[in-house]
Amino acid sequence: MNPRLPQLREGTVNLSVQASKVLTGFRVITAELLAGAPLEIKFFVENLGPLPLKMAVSGDSLRQRPGQFRFTASFNGLSLEDDPLTDEPYPGGPAGLVRLSIDQPWNQTLILNQFVRLEQTIGQLEQGASGRLDLSCRRPLALAATDTGALSDNAAVFIAVNLNLDLRRDDAALAALAARLLDEVLHMPQALRERPLSLLLSMRSAARTQIEALSHHPDASVAARALLAARA
C-alpha cells in the first residue's frame, strides 16, 4: 500500500492585475480536525503591488452563509454531498466592494460544513481512526481599479485550489465540543454568540440534540436557524 501523502492545509494562486501582483487562496485554520466537527477555512486576497484594487463580496442570505464559494469533497475516496442546502432557493444577499492595498488585505473565514456534509465522514471511520479529506475550493474573483470592473462577471477568473486533510473520529471530543458550543450560545452576550451559533448549526446531525434544544430558543431568529439546520 502506498503511504499517505502529507496533508496540504493551504493552496495559493498568483495573479497579475494591471501593475499589481496578487496572492490569493484558501487556508485551513482549524487546529484539531475531527470527523463531523466544524472546519474553518480562510479565503485570503493580498495585493502585493502599488495599485489599489477593488473586489466584490456577497452573502447568501437564505442559506446564512457567504456567497460566491463552491466546495466539493471526497473522504477516503467516496464523494461527500457538496451542498447541504441545495434545495433552498438563492434570492441573493448583501453585496459590496472592498478595497485591497499592500497594507489592507482581505481575509474571510468560512465554515466548510455550511457547504459540505462533513458529518458523513463519521460513519466511514472506526473510533480513533483517521481518514483523508480531499477538498476542492473555488471562487470567482474579479479584481479591478474601478467599481464597474470589480463587479463585472466578464473580468472574473476562477480561483481553484485543492487541499488534503486528515480527519480523526473521536466521538467523546465531538460531543464535548457540541456541548461547549451550546453553552456559549445560551450564556454568551448576544453580540458574541454568532460564531458559536454558526459553528454548532453547521454540525447538523453530529449535534442533533443541541440543535433541537436551540429550536426552542426564545430568540425567534435563533430558533428559525436551528429548524433550518435540523431539516438540512
Phi-psi region of 177 (alpha: psi -120 to 50; beta: other; left: phi over 0): alpha
Measured in degrees and rounded to the nearest 5, phi and psi for residue 44 equal -130, 150
Question: Which of residues 177 and 151 earns the better pLDDT score?
Answer: 177
Predicted TM-score (pTM) of the model is 0.91
The CATH class for the domain spanning 10-169 reads mainly beta
Can you give the residue ranges of every domain in the chain? 10-169, 172-231
d(CA 22, CA 15): 5
pLDDT in tens, 63-93: 778 888 999 999 999 999 767 666 555 555 6
Q: What is the pLDDT of residues 154-191, one digit of tens each?
A: 878 999 999 999 999 999 999 999 999 999 999 999 99
What is the structure's pLDDT at 156? 87
Look at residue 182 and give its three-state secondary structure: helix
Which H or E run contains 131?
A: strand 130-141
pLDDT tens for each residue of 94-144: 678 999 999 999 999 999 999 999 999 999 999 999 999 999 999 999 999
**How confident is the model at residue 64, as a pLDDT?**
74
pLDDT at res. 24? 97
